[in-house]
């Protein structure tokens, strides 16, 4: 199979907070993009910044003439509609032998079914969710977790290389989405632990900035303390660029995988309940680092 290197044509569906900087990286690397988003403004803004990109009116239109398709959408159900089942679905425009890369955070069980359904149409699927947030999407240093065939990954290495620094084949179809959900479970748990530690420490009279510095030079160090502590929590800017609603979705996905496998994981279930309640009180659009505010609310209720 031919390696997809610039100036190959790629269809890109989903120009949101993460999708746009990822598509920027591809355009800057020399790929020709055919873009689609339900927001006409998102499409026009992107094409305005990248005149070589082609604006399209549907997923099908975006897919026409493209060697590969990337989706960066809110969840797997929306991906399935855009790619396979909806009006003017992308698969209607893709040629046999094309490759779909779902870089959204989707349910891995649903991803396995999507892979089978696309294979029956002669189209391969790689699930390739990302970690690193908007900052790393902008600089092209995302971590990309891939599920699917090794040969398909080899084919699109230049594509992923334009967007990510660490690209890992995790297993067959669905493996990337499963690992992403489990990774976000660890991320969510670490963030809550840091926030509760800060709440207790501040009540005792400790300086929160000093606390984070000590955590980062001690065994309490985590992604939360390193890249969210001073930056978004201590500063109370709460602008990491990932919503509480999306964190709840990913946690539920991880819990659904455990349930599908008939595994009892009480801490994961507790994390889902904790974040779901926070989501209800903070609002789904709240930045996920605002979980600190929720920790403060709970602490005040207990006193």
Q: Domain check: are 78 and 224 in the same one?
A: no
Residue 218 has, within 13 A of its CA and on its CB side, a CA count of 7
Work out the average pLDDT over 115-134. Answer: 94
Q: Known catalytic residues? A: 180
Kindly state whether residues 148 and 187 are assigned to the same domain.
Answer: no
At 302 the pLDDT is 57
pLDDT in tens, 141-154: 999 999 999 999 99
pLDDT tens per residue, range 187-227: 999 999 999 999 999 999 999 999 999 999 999 999 999 99
- Residues 222-267: tens digit of each pLDDT: 999 999 999 999 999 999 989 999 999 999 999 999 999 999 999 9
Residues 119 and 188 in one domain: no
Structure confidence by residue, pLDDT tens digits, 3-22: 899 999 999 999 999 999 99
Q: How does pLDDT run across 152-172, given as a tens digit for each residue? A: 999 999 999 999 999 999 999
Last residue of a domain, one of 171, 188, 215: 171
Do both 19 and 153 map to the same domain?
Answer: yes
Quote the domain boundaries for residue 132.
Answer: 9-171
């Amino acid at each position: 199979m031919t390696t997809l290197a610039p100036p190959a044509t790629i269809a890109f569906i989903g120009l949101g907070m993460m999708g746009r900087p990822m598509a920027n990286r591809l355009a800057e690397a020399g790929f020709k993009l055919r873009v689609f988003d339900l927001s006409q403004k998102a499409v026009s803004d992107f094409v305005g910044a990248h005149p070589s990109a082609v604006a399209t009116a549907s997923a099908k239109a975006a897919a026409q003439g493209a060697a590969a398709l990337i989706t960066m959408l809110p969840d797997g159900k929306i991906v399935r509609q855009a790619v396979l089942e909806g009006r003017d679905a992308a698969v209607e425009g893709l040629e046999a032998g094309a490759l779909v890369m779902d870089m959204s955070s989707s349910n891995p069980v649903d991803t396995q079914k999507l892979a089978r359904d696309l294979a029956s149409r002669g189209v391969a699927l790689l699930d390739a969710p990302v970690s690193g947030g908007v900052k790393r999407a902008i600089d092209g240093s995302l971590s990309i977790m891939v599920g699917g065939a090794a040969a398909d990954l080899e084919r699109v290495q230049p594509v992923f290389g334009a967007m990510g620094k660490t690209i890992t084949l995790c297993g067959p179809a669905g493996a990337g989405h499963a690992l992403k959900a489990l990774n976000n479970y660890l991320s969510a748990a670490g963030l809550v632990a840091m926030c509760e530690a800060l709440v207790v420490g501040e009540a005792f009279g400790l300086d929160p900035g000093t606390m984070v510095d000590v955590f980062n030079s001690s065994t309490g160090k985590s992604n939360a303390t390193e890249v969210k502590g001073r930056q978004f929590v201590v500063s109370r800017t709460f602008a990491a660029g990932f919503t509480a609603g999306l964190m709840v979705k990913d946690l539920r996905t991880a819990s659904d995988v455990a349930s599908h496998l008939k595994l009892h994981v009480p801490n994961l279930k507790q994390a889902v309940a904790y974040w779901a309640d926070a989501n209800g009180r903070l609002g789904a659009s709240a930045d996920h680092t605002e979980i600190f505010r929720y920790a403060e609310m709970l602490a005040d209720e207990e006193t």
